[in-house]
């Protein structure tokens, strides 16, 4: 299947520390997107990285993509308690689907004050 899978399933850190979450997928992609979801709420888009990009930054977020290993990572630097949420990667399918996204199970990040 196409789905991205995040690792670890759960991550617990102190405020100020960095949080790294990983995503692996199985088939080629056009792009990979990272989303955040607070408990029971909607999906907030964080970053889209295209298959020809290797790294992207947005504020305290840094995303890398290694298409040879079919993996991506999301780094949150200087984490805050407000970063507590579930983080999902979502992949599309190169040339085979019309925008359909495949989501992983997510990483539950808890940041302790």
Partner 1 sequence: EPEVTQTPSHQVTQMGQEVILRCVPISNHLYFYWYRQILGQKVEFLVSFYNNEISEKSEIFDDQFSVERPDGSNFTLKIRSTKLEDSAMYFCASSAGTEETQYFGPGTRLLVL
Query: Interior CA angle at 26 toward 72 and 19, to 5°?
Result: 25
- Exactly one of 10, 15, 26, 45 binds partner 1 (CB under 8 A); that residue is 45
Tell me the torsion sign for CA atoms 77, 82, 84, 85.
negative
Strand pairing class (10-14; 107-112): parallel
- Exactly one of 14, 17, 41, 66 binds partner 1 (CB under 8 A); that residue is 41
Q: Under the criterion CB under 8 A, does residue 48 sit at the interface with partner 1?
A: yes
* Residue where the block lists tokens 């056009």: 30
Residues in contact with partner 1, counted by CB under 8 A, come to a total of 26
Task: Give residues in contact with partner 1 (CB under 8 A).
Answer: 3, 30-31, 33, 35, 40-45, 48, 50, 88, 90, 92, 97-106
């Amino acid at each position: 299947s196409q789905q991205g899978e995040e690792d670890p399933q759960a991550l617990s850190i102190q405020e100020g520390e960095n949080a790294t979450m990983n995503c692996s997928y199985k088939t080629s992609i056009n792009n990979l997107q990272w989303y955040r979801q607070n408990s029971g709420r909607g999906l907030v888009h964080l970053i889209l990285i295209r298959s020809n990009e290797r790294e992207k930054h947005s504020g305290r977020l840094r995303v890398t993509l290694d298409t040879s290993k079919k993996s991506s990572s999301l780094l949150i630097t200087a984490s805050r308690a407000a970063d507590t949420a579930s983080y999902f990667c979502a992949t599309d399918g190169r040339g085979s689907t019309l925008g359909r996204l495949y989501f992983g199970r997510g990483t539950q990040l808890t940041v302790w004050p």
